[in-house]
Structure 1
Amino acid sequence: MNAVLLVGRILFAFIFITSGITHFAKLEAMTGYAKYKKLPAAKFGVLISGLFFLLGGVYIAIGLWVDLGALLLAITLILAAVIFHNFWKETDATAKQNEMIAFNKNIALAGAALILFALIAFGSLTEFGPSVGSLNFFDF
């Protein structure tokens, strides 16, 4: 079971680690896209989302504070879905379909991250190692 969880964590985290790195490596291009989508403080938004993706992915991959990493990812993914992939505003059929696919991908990944957060923060999966939830930061 532990090997499966390790492989699953790494596979899930990989897309976020690479995305976080891309946010920094292609900062100007991503800032231009954020400005096109009318994001206020576009460069700051790109930096913060890149940091959240990178930290969230690394936390999940290495098994340290997986709940916090999953929460960072879920927040960023939901905001990105609503702000950047608002398919309901598109009039071109192809653009609308592409934005809907990206929106659905982000929402599905956010759902998976929230499931991971809940399982760890509330003690259902302790195989991941230390978590913020075990420190009672998320004790509801």
Structure 2
Amino acid sequence: MAYENCEDTMFKTLGQLLLGSIFIVGGAGTFAEPGGRVKMVEAAGVPQARQATILNGVVMTAAGSTLAAGILPKLSATALLGSLTATTVVGHPFWKEENPASRANQQIQFLKNLSLIGGLLLVLAGKND
């Protein structure tokens, strides 16, 4: 029984580390160089698009880091859910793409983000956090 607990803890820790990594890398990139993302945020009608984009990057980096480190994982997952939901809708509107290749690429990114949202929901559903 103790072995199973150790195995569960190991998988949970590794899962949180891997899940957090995409937010750390992506968030840091957004924070350091918001670039073209700002135009997409502006087009979505978000006020102060540059500041909103940078804040989103900061939230992803910070919450991804705490999730990866196993610090307040449910709070981290909640922050990432809010940030990622906005990013998914604003950043990957595949339904607006007319070019089939662009549409397919955006749809893949949209579905990837939905998968990440699923992982974050599993963190929230976890016990003993």
* Structure 1 residue 26, shift from structure 2 partner: 0.8
Q: 1:30 to 1:90 in 2, by over 3 A?
A: closer
Residue of structure 2 equivalent to 1:90: 97
* Structure 1 residue 7, shift from structure 2 partner: 1.9
Distance 1:102 1:62 in 2: 26
Distance 1:62 1:4 in 2: 14
Residue of structure 1 equivalent to 2:24: 17
Q: Is 1:3 aligned to 2:7, yes or no?
A: no
Give the TM-score normalised by the residue count of structure 1. 0.77
SS in 2 for 1:27: coil
User: Equivalences for 1:41-56 in 2 at 5 Å?
Assistant: 41-56=48-63
* Structure 1 residue 38, shift from structure 2 partner: 5.1
User: Equivalences for 1:22-101 in 2 at 5 Å?
Assistant: 22-35=29-42, 39-101=46-108
Asked if structure 1 preserves the Cα contact closer than 8 Å seen for 2:21 and 2:64, the reply is yes
Amino acid at match of 1:25: A
Residue segments in structure 1 that go unaligned for 5+ positions in a row: 132-140
SS in 1 for 2:47: coil
Distance 1:48 1:117 in 2: 23
Number of equivalenced pairs: 122
Q: Which moved further from structure 2: 78-87 or 27-36? A: 27-36
Distance 1:94 1:36 in 2: 21
Amino acid at match of 1:77: L
Give the TM-score normalised by the residue count of structure 2. 0.82
Residue segments in structure 2 that go unaligned for 5+ positions in a row: 1-6
- Give the ranges of 4+ consecutive aligned residues of structure 1 lying more than 6 Å apart after TM superposition: none
Asked if structure 2 preserves the Cα contact closer than 8 Å seen for 1:74 and 1:111, the reply is no
The structure with the greater share of residues assigned to helix is: 2
